[in-house]
A and B are shown apart, each in its own frame.
Chain A
Amino acid sequence: KQEVTQIPAALSVPEGENLVLNCSFTDSAIYNLQWFRQDPGKGLTSLLLIQSSQREQTSGRLNASLDKSSGRSTLYIAASQPGDSATYLCAVKNQGGKLIFGQGTELSVKP
């Protein structure tokens, strides 16, 4: 049974700081891993998708890495801004199409 865990549950940083969010999963037989952003009371926005054969993906100030063998992914946010404040969720998809989410990390970037 796939379990996805995100640590920490909440994080508060000053503006401009670089930060790392963590996602771990118990079953390494994954198809891909995605990172999402959710603003309060809103739906989810896809940020980055990493296929199982890839090691990392980058989009602007965001960089996501994947280490299947250790069951870990990280989301690196460079030069954080108050507008980055949101909940960040990772989701792991297996070969059969099942897509499991972590519980999310609530990020607050203080001006």
Chain B
Amino acid sequence: NAGVTQTPKFRILKIGQSMTLQCTQDMNHNYMYWYRQDPGMGLKLIYYSVGAGITDKGEVPNGYNVSRSTTEDFPLRLELAAPSQTSVYFCASILGQTSSTGELFFGEGSRLTVL
């Protein structure tokens, strides 16, 4: 059972380039989340999804896009990368609202630098 897997772990982008951060979970979780964490700060919600085919904006969605075509995958797309998107990105998942525990499972993070 791999849990939540994020790739890549590290990436350097040039301004204006695009890329996709991959997130996959094998726990059949319905809810998935993308966060960014800047140095010394908490986590800011970018986008979230409560099930396949459903996505919603979080606190800081500008400059990002997501899709949820399957339960397992929740990729985060950065279009026209900017230095302000330099951050550590975390993907997370929860089984759902009816879960008895509601425990949030996190990926290990993806460190992105935009130069």
Residues of A at the B interface (CB closer than 8 Å) are: 6, 31-32, 34, 36, 43-44, 46, 49, 51, 89, 91, 93, 95-104
A99 to B101, CA, bound (A): 15
What are the residues of chain B within 8 A of A51 when measuring CB–CB? Answer: 102
| Interchain CB contact under 8 A, A103 and B41 | yes
What are the residues of chain A within 8 A of B97 when measuring CB–CB? Answer: 31, 95, 97
Number of B interface residues in the complex (CB < 8 A) = 25
| Interchain CB contact under 8 A, A46 and B58 | no
What are the residues of chain B within 8 A of A95 when measuring CB–CB? Answer: 97
Residues of B at the A interface (CB closer than 8 Å) are: 31, 33, 35, 41-45, 48, 50, 56, 58-59, 90, 92, 94, 97, 101-104, 106-109
| Interchain CB contact under 8 A, A98 and B104 | no
B85 CB to closest chain A CB (Å) equals 19
- What would 15 more interface pairs be, CB under 8 Å, given A99-B45, A101-B44? A31-B97, A32-B102, A34-B103, A43-B106, A43-B108, A44-B104, A46-B103, A89-B42, A97-B50, A97-B97, A99-B33, A99-B48, A100-B45, A100-B59, A102-B42
